[in-house]
Structure 1
Amino acid sequence: MTDKTILVVGTYDTKNDELEYMADRIRAMGGGVMSMDISVLGDPERATDISKHQVADAGGQTIQALIDQGEESVAMQAMADGASALARSLQATGKFDGVVILGGSMGTDAALDICQALPLGVPKYVVSTVAFSPIIPADRLSADIQMILWAGGLYGLNPVCKASLSQAAGAVLGAARAVEIPSNERPLVGMTSLGSSCLKYMKLLKGPLEERGFDVAIFHATGMGGMAYESIARSGGFACVMDFALPELGNLLAGSVINGGEDRMLNAGAAGIPQIVAPGCLDLIDFAGWQDIPDRYKDRPFHPHNRLIVSSGLNAEERRETAREVAKRLKASATPAHVILTNKGIEEWDKEGGPAHDPDAFAEFCDEMRRVMTDPITFTELDCHINNQAFADKALEIFDAWIADGTIKTET
Structure 2
Amino acid sequence: MFDFPVATGSTRAAYIAGTFDTKARELFFLRQCLERLGLRVVTVDLSTSGKTSLASVHPREVARHHPQGEAAVFSGDRGSATAAMAQAFEAFVGTRRDLGGIIAAGGSGNTSMATQGMRALPIGVPKVMVSTMASGDTRPYVGPSDICMMYSVTDVQGIHRISERVLANAAHALAGMIAHPPAVSADSKPALGLTMFGVTTPCVQRVAKRMEEACDCLVFHATGVGGQSMEKLVDSGLLAGVIDVTTTEIADEIAGGVLSAGPTRMDAFARHALPYVGSCGALDMVNFGAWETVPERFRARKLYRHNPTVTLMRTTPAECEAIGAFIAAKLNAMRGPLRFLIPERGVSAIDRPGEPFHDPEADRALFSAIEQSFRAGPDRKLQRLPLHINDEAFADALVAAWQEISVSSPHARRA
- 1:205 aligns with 207
> For residues 9-408 of structure 1, what are the structure 2 equivalents within 5 Å?
9-26=17-34, 33-40=41-48, 41-43=50-52, 47-57=54-64, 69-73=75-79, 75-77=81-83, 79-90=85-96, 93=97, 95-131=98-134, 138=140, 141-153=143-155, 155-162=157-164, 164-176=166-178, 180=182, 186-195=189-198, 198-212=200-214, 214-234=215-235, 237-289=238-290, 292-300=293-301, 301-303=303-305, 305-307=307-309, 309-358=310-359, 361-362=362-363, 365-366=366-367, 368-369=369-370, 371-373=372-374, 375-376=376-377, 378-406=381-409
Structure 1: distance between partners of 2:292 and 2:55:
44
Structure 1: distance between partners of 2:393 and 2:73:
64
Count residues in correspondence: 402
For structure 1, the residue ranges without an aligned partner over 5 or more in a row are none
Counterpart AA for 2:93? A
Counterpart AA for 2:117? I
1:6 maps onto 2:14 in alignment: yes
- The 1:363/1:36 distance shift into structure 2, 3 A limit, reads closer
Secondary structure of the corresponding residue to residue 101 of structure 1: strand
- The 1:289/1:127 distance shift into structure 2, 3 A limit, reads farther
For structure 2, the residue ranges without an aligned partner over 5 or more in a row are 1-8
Aligned Cα RMSD in Å?
A: 3.7
How many angstroms does 1:53 deviate by?
4.9
How many angstroms does 1:163 deviate by?
5.2
Deviates more, 1:361-370 or 1:244-253: 361-370
Counterpart AA for 2:389? I
Contact 1:125–1:146 (8 Å) recurs in 2: yes
How many angstroms does 1:162 deviate by?
4.3
Structure 2: distance between partners of 1:220 and 1:329:
20
Counterpart AA for 1:199? T
How many angstroms does 1:299 deviate by?
1.3
How many angstroms does 1:74 deviate by?
5.0
How many angstroms does 1:287 deviate by?
2.0
Secondary structure of the corresponding residue to residue 120 of structure 1: coil
Structure 2: distance between partners of 1:222 and 1:148:
24
- The 1:58/1:322 distance shift into structure 2, 3 A limit, reads closer
Report the TM-score, using the length of structure 1 for normalisation: 0.81
Contact 2:193–2:220 (8 Å) recurs in 1: yes
- The 1:347/1:110 distance shift into structure 2, 3 A limit, reads same
Structure 1: distance between partners of 2:36 and 2:291:
43
Counterpart AA for 1:259? S
Structure 1: distance between partners of 2:136 and 2:292:
15
- The 1:311/1:182 distance shift into structure 2, 3 A limit, reads farther
Same amino acid, percent of matched pairs = 26
Contact 1:198–1:349 (8 Å) recurs in 2: no
